[in-house]
Amino acid sequence: ASSLLLCFRTSLVAPLIFGLLLQPPLTQLSSITQPNIVLLMADDLGIGDVGCYGNDTIRTPNIDHLAKEGVKLTQHIAAAPLCTPSRAAFLTGRYPLRSGMDAINNYRVIFWNGGSGGLPPNETTFAKILQRQGYTTGLIGKWHQGVNCESRDDHCHHPLNHGFDYFYGMPFTLISDCQPTETPEMDRAFRRKLWLSTQVIGLVTLTAALGRLTGLISVSWKTLTCLAGFSLLFFVSWFSSYGFVRYWNCIMMRNHEVTEQPMVTARTTSLILRESISFIERNKHKPFLLFLSFLHSHTPLLTTEKFLGKSSHGLYGDNVEEMDWMVGQVLDAIDKEGLKNTTLVYFASDHGGWLERHEGKRQLGGWNGMYRGGKAMAGWEGGIRVPGIFRWPGVLPAGTVIDEPTSLMDIYPTVVHLAGAVLPQDRVIDGRDLMPLLRGTVEHSEHEFLFHYCGTDLHAVRWHQKDSGSIWKAHYVTPIFRPLGAGGCYDRGFCPCFGEGVTHHDPPLLFDLSRDPSEAKPLSADTEPLFDTVIKKIGRAIEEHRRTLTPVPEQLSVYNAVWKPWLQPCCGTFPFCWCDKEVDN
């Protein structure tokens, strides 16, 4: 009987052991030295635009497959709801106001290639650290962190001054002004005011001149001459910048050289993809960092003919599906070179989708799923909760979903540690190394509090109460939606951070995101017994956080934001700046 029992146990255990042997073992991190790192960042992509995050109409098979083979984060949070500050935080692992990359005014992003603001040279990006560790580092696509400080060629804010060995792409960001057939987007309302003012001044000058000629108005020719001169100077002062936005901002660069001015948008997608794959092929024999910063899915939604009209969501859906195809092409290049198991791939968006972006009945912005709010809104989840996917076969467990608060700032310490380096000790780093969480060696994120800034104004704070599983979020300032209940600031196009367009809350609005991720039902002292305790705890965290802040130069000040001719990148002799050097290639 005992022998039969032993045989029976053996028959059960043997298949189990055999099955475990067939499972690919997770490699010990200590045995891996300096993996390749590929960072893929979409522009203005909503979390609800991706299949693996719940969208069942826009087709994103390559991004979905990336999540299936890796780890999907469901509470991945941008440090800001707009491009420039969010990307500054991503590159430095620090809240953007620590580097002066958040605004105290309405200039909340870099406005001109010819402006003087940008990511300060004394900031240490993860690219700079990896470069010191022997990595070849490349940035393909969008930068939007400034170019020059004091002269046209100082390149103090340029990617090559921030740790990238190679740069090809837009130093600015894609805007509708880059597409001649589209309605101008940049500072549209302000431009209308300038045109109106010019017409009024011109009309006054013309009326005075006619009155003088007909004898109806007694005015000297000297006064008329001064008035005409002022009219001309006023017109030239603003039209020299806003009248040539396409030439000043819509340019392509390779390293320090301007290659297209203005850019030829019909081939931009193919060139960015070609450059990305070429970078992988050139550097396959040594550790590399590739930051592919997509121009998709920012307006004007540059989409090649192959994808036009193919989605169920108009031009925006076409554009997202093309970006997914580009992701697939990059992943195929990694596989082709035999680098899949030695490459950490990361996919995310810089912030939430732009709800208010439309032309007539055409919706040109993204969808943020069940989350309230969108781009430019720092407090509501729709503006800051983004896709976050990691893949590293053999190291990260495939098909894993992690519902813990994480941040785009966490990429900084994560890749720094993987490269075998140490974090800078002379500054506060707000990000946390994600590898223990991604590998499943710890249960909870290291973040207890995350602070959500709109410019330099603190709009909301979240507290991850790990012992209870609650994720409390207190809103101190919220934008006023127009029309009321519309979910966005459709009257402005962007929700503001301060002024008449916001509401201050005392006591703050409180939500428990673990029970109410859509932030639909604010809690109160009457409905939540822990209300006062939670508000006091968050208040103390804010006080401690503010003690870590130090004054820094404001990179997005009005002076730094305005266009300066002497800083404008130019491929000819200024102001004759036009070229197409890609024709030669």
Q: Which residues of the chain have pLDDT under 50?
A: 1-23, 30
Residue 391: strand, helix, or coil: strand
Within-domain flag for 85 = yes
Instruction: Specify the pLDDT at position 295.
Output: 98
The CA distance from 214 to 228, in Å, is 18
Instruction: Specify the pLDDT at position 584.
Output: 65
As for how many domains the chain has, the answer is 2
Instruction: Specify the pLDDT at position 18.
Output: 43
The CA distance from 280 to 363, in Å, is 35
Among the three residues 221, 242, 263, which one is the final residue of a domain in this structure?
242
Are both 163 and 293 inside the same structural domain? Answer: yes
Are both 218 and 330 inside the same structural domain? Answer: no
- Residue from 7, 76, 144, 358 carrying the catalytic annotation: 144
Are both 345 and 201 inside the same structural domain? Answer: no
Domain that holds residue 57: 36-174+251-446+551-580
Are both 301 and 432 inside the same structural domain? Answer: yes
Amino acid at 17: I
The CA distance from 74 to 242, in Å, is 41
Within-domain flag for 179 = no
What is the longest distance spanned by two Cα atoms in the chain? 128
Are both 421 and 556 inside the same structural domain? Answer: yes
| Residue of 464, 474, 467 lying closest to 514 (CA atoms) | 464
The CA distance from 469 to 465, in Å, is 6
Are both 224 and 292 inside the same structural domain? Answer: no
Q: Is 144 a catalytic residue?
A: yes
Within-domain flag for 352 = yes
Within-domain flag for 320 = yes
pTM for this entry: 0.92
Are both 332 and 212 inside the same structural domain? Answer: no
Within-domain flag for 518 = no
Residue 349: strand, helix, or coil: strand
Are both 269 and 163 inside the same structural domain? Answer: yes
Secondary structure element (H or E) that encloses residue 319, with its range: helix 314-336
Are both 276 and 160 inside the same structural domain? Answer: yes
Q: Is 83 a catalytic residue?
A: yes
Are both 148 and 201 inside the same structural domain? Answer: no
Instruction: Specify the pLDDT at position 397.
Output: 98
CATH assignment at residue 307: 3.40.720.10
Are both 143 and 169 inside the same structural domain? Answer: yes
- Residue from 76, 83, 162, 495 carrying the catalytic annotation: 83
Are both 303 and 199 inside the same structural domain? Answer: no
